[in-house]
Amino acid sequence: MGVAIAMLAAIGRGRAASALPAAAAPSTWVDLIDIDGSINPATADFIDDAIAKAHAGGASALVIRLDTPGGLLSSAKKIVKSMLNAPLPIIVYVAPQGASATSAGTFVMGAANVAAMAPGTTVGAAHPIEANGGEAEGKIAEKMENYTAAFAKSIAHQRGRNESWYEDAVRKSSSIGEGEALKLHVIDLVANDLHDLLVKSTGRTVTLADGQKIRLDLANAETRTARMTLGQSVLDHLADPNIMYLLMIAGVIGLYFEFSHPGAYLPGVAGAICLLLALTSFQLLPINLAGLLLIALGMAMLLAELFVTSYGVLGIGGVIAFVIGSLFLIDTSQTNLNVNRGIIAGTAVGFSAIVLGIGYLVLRTRRGHVSTGGEGMIGKVGQVRETIAPGTPGQIFVNGEIWRAVSDEAISVGAHARIVAVHGLEVVVRPEVTSATSMASERN
């Protein structure tokens, strides 16, 4: 009897132990990704992959925590397309406090099934701009603005949000905080944190691309964070205009030092790698051809300064071309991102200092005394190795060499003489009056 009771107890403990994992396992979970930076091709690929993996893994929803200054319209369009056709609910949460969904980020937020913002966040300012950073004008600008406004309105219509405000965000660069956004039905809710977001999303019904309606039940959902792959992370950083520009500058400086000091190898190798990475960035960012050509012209002038004595004219011209090209390098008609003006100014000052330094060294060298060749021998003092007399040449040792020497005065072996002229391989000398010789003359 006791054995039977012990067996039953053991079986009971086994069943309880096997039931624990099932009870502990969450019935629902959401995948979470962070977009903290510009909207670019790497970001678009990351979101597309996250949607596919979340659906394949059985996640109840994908939460995109967003904080972006904007980015490429082409990448935003790809992201919006992926979100509107997603097989699971997409929640975009502009967070943490102080974050924003600016420019291209406005379209990404608008395409979500549930759009939410944290306190102290903003959204909007999606007006197209020209390559020089100013507001677009003319017929082409009008077409661009009309297209972007229609794109924003269609997203808002698809998600049942305020179409008028989304149009104003494009045409008038309208930007609002979370409170006004909720009041104008630009977003669906305001959440203090991620848990609050999931709780407030619970009970909402969303419609997927295939027409299926899903009632969200995320109050007790677990959060699983997904991150960019190494390749996506590298491309994401290379899509930053400032990093692209710094890589290009590093490449130029590396090649500059390699050409000025041939055989160093390390500057040339490092410069070539940096330039190749910068070229990779060119594939990710909209590049203005005129700006790129001006930068190439500036680089050519700076390199030519090493081989042509222009007293800084080529160098200064190269710096001017480089700076103007830098200002127009990014085609901002397709993105609100640009190279930081402080970096451009620092580069201009650095290159100018290099050019002025080279010019100063050249001028100092040209104005200095000649120290080599025949002219460089004049004024040097040597020791007589073979007696020199008027009409009879002798020999003098100077600079580690023995020269044929002539003089109007007799100079004995061991005395010192100063070179006053050079005629081919023969030098004209005169006796050098040393302190010892002067004292002897005074005693006599």
d(CA 242, CA 237): 10
Q: Which secondary-structure segment (H or E) carries 420?
A: strand 416-423
* Burial class (CB within 10 angstroms; exposed 0-12, middle 13-18, buried 19+) of 100: buried
> In angstroms, how far is CA 322 from the centroid of its own chain?
16
Q: Which secondary-structure segment (H or E) carries 443?
A: helix 435-443
- The residues assigned a catalytic role are 103, 143
d(CA 165, CA 168): 5
d(CA 401, CA 236): 65
Closest CA to 197 of 344, 46, 62, 1: 62
Please say whether the beta carbons of 274 and 250 come within 8 A.
yes
What's the DSSP call for residue 383?
A: E
Distances (CA, A) of 30 to 22, 220, 265: 18, 10, 52
d(CA 41, CA 38): 10
Helix orientation angle between 138-159 and 163-171, rounded to the nearest 10 degrees: 160
